[in-house]
A = this chain, B = another copy of it.
Amino acid sequence: MEELGLRRPQAALLDLARTALQEDVGRGDVTSLLTIAEETQARARFVAREALVVSGLKVARAVFFEAGGEEKLSFAALTSEGVRVPVGAVLAEIEGLARPILAAERVSLNLLMHLSGIATLTNRYVEAVDGTGVRIVDTRKTTPGLRLAEKAAVRVGGSMNHRFGLDDGILIKDNHLALIGDVAEAVRRVRTKAPHLLKIEVEVESLEALKAALLAGVDAVLLDNMSPEEVHRCVELVRKERPGTLVEVSGGIDLWNIRSYAEAGPDLISVGALTHSASSVDISLEVEPC
């Protein structure tokens, strides 16, 4: 559960909940307001309709907190972030006034289904490289507005996070090099001016580029769009020439080929699909009077 806390200040959770509720509720939940009496109480349960790895409980809780306003809704998590649950598992139970529960239903489901989808998919990637010692990391290919939540779901699924944004790590990519021309010069510029707690990584697409990067003294290299064999040759070079340098692999990696890449021996494999192509998992909210 602790995992969830990583880089997710509570204020950000509530802001996300508020924005999402505004978007869905608009000027009011007409149906519920007209059909359900103000004082009606209800109990609701999130039920997994397929096997899944749970993520998003704190966000869902924030949605009910926001929706409930002064009339607090109780929210009891019945499992924890990162737990793999079977079909039919009850993830959490909410009790309180029916109207705010119904107003929060769709928004909380959208978040839980999306984030658990990411954790579930991530988990499959993690299992695919089990035993190789390679770490799976995410990318910045996240849904605008949901980066912190999605990156938390990735951790919950067992992976690590790459940069959170353009400001907490230096990664010189192909587009930079297309404009600068020279790795050595790029690294030099960065080294003299960047805050000293940020490492420097360079994207390379060939063995020659790798050699130049190592010569420039980078902290990490990103091998992009290579075959497992090419990765293997690059890893050997790095281990020999500049041992401490981290090796990350990315590009065209999926559940079917990731193990070959992992066995090529890099430190990290980054997978955009964890966040940009995870399907929602199926969860429902069952409401009953109480």
| Residues on A facing B (Cβ under 8 Å) | 1-2, 5-11, 16, 18-38, 40, 42, 44, 66, 69-70, 98-99, 102-103, 105-107, 109-111, 113-114, 117, 137, 140-148, 155, 160-173, 175-176, 178-180, 186, 189-190, 193-199, 201, 219-220, 246, 248, 267-268, 272-273, 276-277, 279-280, 285-289
Contacts and interface: CB of A to CB of B under 8 A. Distances in A.
B196 A197 contact: no
B276 A114 contact: yes
A9 B6 CA distance: 26
A255 to B, nearest CB: 13
B194 A34 contact: yes
A101 to B, nearest CB: 9
A183 to B, nearest CB: 10
A188 to B, nearest CB: 10
A204 B138 CA distance: 33
Question: Quick one: copies of this chain in the complex?
Answer: 6
A220 B284 CA distance: 23
The 8 closest A-B pairs by CB, nearest first: A7-B28, A169-B197, A20-B144, A277-B279, A26-B167, A145-B145, A10-B69, A26-B165
Contact of A30 (B29, B40, B198, B220): B198
Nearest to A177: B35
A86 to B, nearest CB: 19
Contacts of A190: 30-31, 34-35
Nearest to A174: B287
A29 B113 contact: no
B146 A28 contact: no
Given A143-B110, A144-B110, A163-B197, A168 B36 contact: no
Given A69-B10, A220-B196, A175 B287 contact: yes
